[in-house]
Amino acid sequence: MKITKTSIPEVLVFEPTVHGDSRGYFMETFRLADFAEAGDALNFVQDNQSKSSQGTLRGLHYQLNFPQGKLVRVLSGEVFDVAVDIRENSPTFGQWVGELLSAANHKQLWVPPGFAHGFYVTSEFAELSYKCTQYYHPEDDHSLLWNDPVIAIQWPLISGSPLLSDKDQNAKTLQQAAIFENL
């Protein structure tokens, strides 16, 4: 498995070795030793899967008291997947990393605890699967505004406005976010 650090070193791209022939292909999608080698000790406790139509933007979601690390991969279609550093004393606080993940390229993005996560569907539809290091806690669920000018994510929008949930339409900017409530 090829492991690549991004511009935020804790966010990693995993590219599995794909063994293919006329019947199809085989690949390992997770190997604990690869993560240990990259410096992360993990304990995944929950797997999630979602399906979204083209133009859907989900995120930027995070939990403060129960931060989740997420290993994200696409089962079908293609997404632009984003991690935003919201760790209070981090030298990369407020910076983001984006990666095109698809069923064709088999890439996976490691979004560490302490990051907000979101994705935008660029194909007709996309199915994502992601492993989490912490359980989902609805009372601790927060959302950053997808188009916050301070974060300035360069989303590859297909049309003017993405399809958003009510929660994501009413998300807060980084300056308004829950991470500042205790400062």
pLDDT (tens digit per residue) in 5-52: 999 999 999 998 899 889 888 888 888 887 777 666 678 999 999 999
> Is residue 142 annotated as a catalytic residue, yes or no?
no
Are 120 and 80 within 8 A, CB to CB?
yes
CA within 13 Å, CB half, 112: 19
Domain membership flag for residue 6: no
Please give the pLDDT value at position 25: 84
> Mind listing the pLDDT tens digit for each residue in 57-69?
999 999 999 999 9
Are 168 and 143 within 8 A, CB to CB?
yes
Please give the pLDDT value at position 158: 87
Are 174 and 88 within 8 A, CB to CB?
no
Are 128 and 73 within 8 A, CB to CB?
yes
Domain membership flag for residue 172: yes
Domain membership flag for residue 27: no
Q: CA dihedral defined by 134, 136, 141, 146, rounded to 10 degrees? A: 80
Q: Which of 62, 106, 130, 136 is catalytic?
A: 130
Residue range(s) defining the domain that contains residue 171: 43-180
CATH code of residue 64: 2.60.120.10
Q: Which of 19, 25, 61, 62 is catalytic?
A: 61
> Mind listing the pLDDT tens digit for each residue in 111-135?
999 999 999 999 999 999 999 999 9
| Closest by CA position to 101, among listed 121, 84, 117 | 121
Domain membership flag for residue 159: yes
Please give the pLDDT value at position 183: 38
> Is residue 130 annotated as a catalytic residue, yes or no?
yes
Average of per-residue pLDDT values in the chain: 92
In the chain, the percentage of residues whose pLDDT exceeds 70 is 95
Q: How many domains does the chain have?
A: 1
Q: pLDDT band for 178, please (50, 70, 90 cuts).
A: low
